[in-house]
């Protein structure tokens, strides 16, 4: 069975792990967005208003 | 020399250059890098929706500390799914049929869940060796059995993926050889065999997706046990 041939074992293993960690994980990380930034720096001045009792 | 049925699993090389690296690079090509736009194109939107849904579903039952594993498990699922599905195309090589890759992925991941469990909560992790409610005389036997089953896990994880994909590819090759061989002499039987081939290919599609999922799901399970 050619899968049991130990010759390319190390190459397949190491290349699989290297490609997985160095290429795929940053790729998938770019799909997962972090929490969207909230704009809490603006202070909104609200003008108080009264009900027009007429 | 005659081509045997197992030669499709030989790691291909041209002039000494191993081509398995090229088939391993395919998943990163299929998932294009996202940019930070609000609205991207349809492909990117679909992929990000799929990844988000999968990660949510997978990491629901885990506790807060093990959510760090979501990137590991999701990218692993993406890689396995893509390599399995691409291997169903004609004349492609599936790197997940190689024991080296699957064992190389399964053993470190399983070992890291076990070591995490032993490091952070050693009593709980060792307590998994004895299920609740066992009668007292059975305790020594059961501990031995549970330890053996713990150590079999990485082997089972790796070999399951390898064996399922290898068996599928082999079956497809066998039935297609039978179809071609029967064509000149018994064309009706050849047509029947071709129907079997089509059904087998549909099964292989399902198996490819399911096996990738099972791999990741079991790792998630081992993670939940140990955190």
- DSSP per-residue string spanning A1-54: -GGG-STTHHHHHHHHHHHIIIIIHHHHHTTS--PPPP-----PPPPP------
Q: Which pair of structure tokens corresponds to residue B155?
A: 């082997």
Average pLDDT over residues B112-136: 84
Stretch (H or E) spanning B66:
none
> How high is the pLDDT of residue A39?
72
Q: Does residue B13 form part of some domain?
A: yes
pLDDT in tens, B134-170: 788 888 888 889 899 999 999 998 999 999 899 989 9
- Choose the weakest-confidence range: A32-36, B33-37, B84-88, B164-168: A32-36
Is the separation of the CB atoms in B11 and A2 below 8 Å?
A: yes
Number of H helices, E strands in chain B: 7, 2
The CA-CA-CA angle for residues B26, B30, B35, to 5°, reads 130
- Name the domain count of chain B: 1
The number of residues making up chain A comes to 54
> How high is the pLDDT of residue A24?
92
Q: Would an 8 Å CB–CB cutoff place B30 in contact with chain A?
A: no
> For residue A12, which residues of chain B lie inside 8 Å, CB to CB?
11, 18, 20, 95, 98, 100-101, 104
Other Cβ atoms closer than 10 A to A37: 6
> For residue A35, which residues of chain B lie inside 8 Å, CB to CB?
none
More confidently predicted of B45 and B17: B45
Q: Does A48 have pLDDT greater than 80?
A: no
> How high is the pLDDT of residue B25?
92
Is the separation of the CB atoms in A20 and B76 below 8 Å?
A: yes
Percent of the residues in chain B that have a pLDDT greater than 70, as a whole number: 99
Residue B60: CB partners within 8 Å, gap ≥ 6?
none
> How high is the pLDDT of residue A37?
62
Q: Does A16 have pLDDT greater than 90?
A: yes
Q: Residue B140: which domain range?
A: 7-226
Measured CA distances, A39 to A36, A42, A43, A44, B35 (Å): 10, 7, 10, 12, 21
Distance from C-alpha of A19 to C-alpha of A25, rounded to nearest angstrom:
9
Residue B84: CB partners within 8 Å, gap ≥ 6?
B94, B96, B165, B208, B209, B211, B212
Longest distance between any two alpha carbons in chain A, whole Å: 94
Is the Cβ pair B24, A19 closer than 8 Å? yes
> How high is the pLDDT of residue B7?
80
> How high is the pLDDT of residue B1?
59
Q: Does residue B133 form part of some domain?
A: yes
Question: Among A13, A24, A31, whose Cβ lies nearest the Cβ of B27?
Answer: A24
Residue B93: Cβ-neighbour burial (10 angstroms; 0-12, 13-18, 19+): buried
Distance from C-alpha of B13 to C-alpha of A28, rounded to nearest angstrom:
29
> How high is the pLDDT of residue A35?
65
Q: Does residue B130 form part of some domain?
A: yes
pLDDT in tens, B24-71: 999 898 888 887 777 788 998 899 899 999 998 888 888 888 888 889
> How high is the pLDDT of residue A36?
65
Is the Cβ pair B100, A8 closer than 8 Å? yes
Q: Which pair of structure tokens corresponds to residue A11?
A: 């190459």
Mean pLDDT of chain B: 86
Q: Does residue B1 form part of some domain?
A: no
Average pLDDT over residues A43-51: 77
Distance from C-alpha of B86 to C-alpha of B30, rounded to nearest angstrom:
10
> How high is the pLDDT of residue B199?
83
Residue of A nearest to B33 (CA): A27
> How high is the pLDDT of residue A44?
74
pLDDT in tens, B216-227: 888 877 777 777
Q: Does residue B2 form part of some domain?
A: no
């Amino acid at each position: 069975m050619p899968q049991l041939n130990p010759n390319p074992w190390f190459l397949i293993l190491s290349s699989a792990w290297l490609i997985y960690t160095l290429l795929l994980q940053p790729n998938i990380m770019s799909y997962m967005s972090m929490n969207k930034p909230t704009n809490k720096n603006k202070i909104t001045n609200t003008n108080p208003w009264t009900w027009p009792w007429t | 020399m005659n081509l045997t049925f197992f030669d499709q699993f030989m790691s291909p090389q041209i002039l000494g250059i191993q081509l398995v690296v090229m088939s391993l690079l395919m998943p990163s090509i299929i998932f294009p890098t996202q940019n930070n736009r609000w609205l991207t194109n349809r492909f990117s939107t679909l992929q990000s929706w799929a990844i988000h849904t999968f990660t949510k579903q997978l990491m629901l039952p885990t506790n807060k500390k093990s959510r760090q594993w979501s990137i590991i498990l999701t990218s692993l699922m993406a890689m396995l799914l893509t390599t399995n599905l691409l291997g169903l195309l004609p004349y492609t090589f599936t790197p997940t049929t190689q024991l080296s890759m699957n064992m190389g992925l399964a053993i470190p991941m399983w070992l890291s869940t076990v070591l995490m469990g032993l490091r952070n909560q050693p009593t709980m992790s060792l307590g998994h060796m004895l299920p609740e409610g066992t009668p007292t005389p059975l305790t020594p036997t059961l501990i031995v059995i549970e330890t053996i089953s713990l150590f079999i896990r990485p082997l089972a994880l790796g070999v399951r993926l390898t064996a399922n994909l290898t068996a599928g590819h082999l079956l497809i090759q066998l039935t297609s050889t039978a179809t071609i061989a029967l064509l000149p002499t018994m064309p009706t039987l050849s047509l029947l065999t071709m129907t079997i081939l089509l059904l087998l290919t549909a099964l292989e599609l399902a198996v490819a997706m399911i096996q990738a999922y099972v791999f990741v799901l079991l790792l998630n399970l081992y993670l939940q046990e140990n955190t």
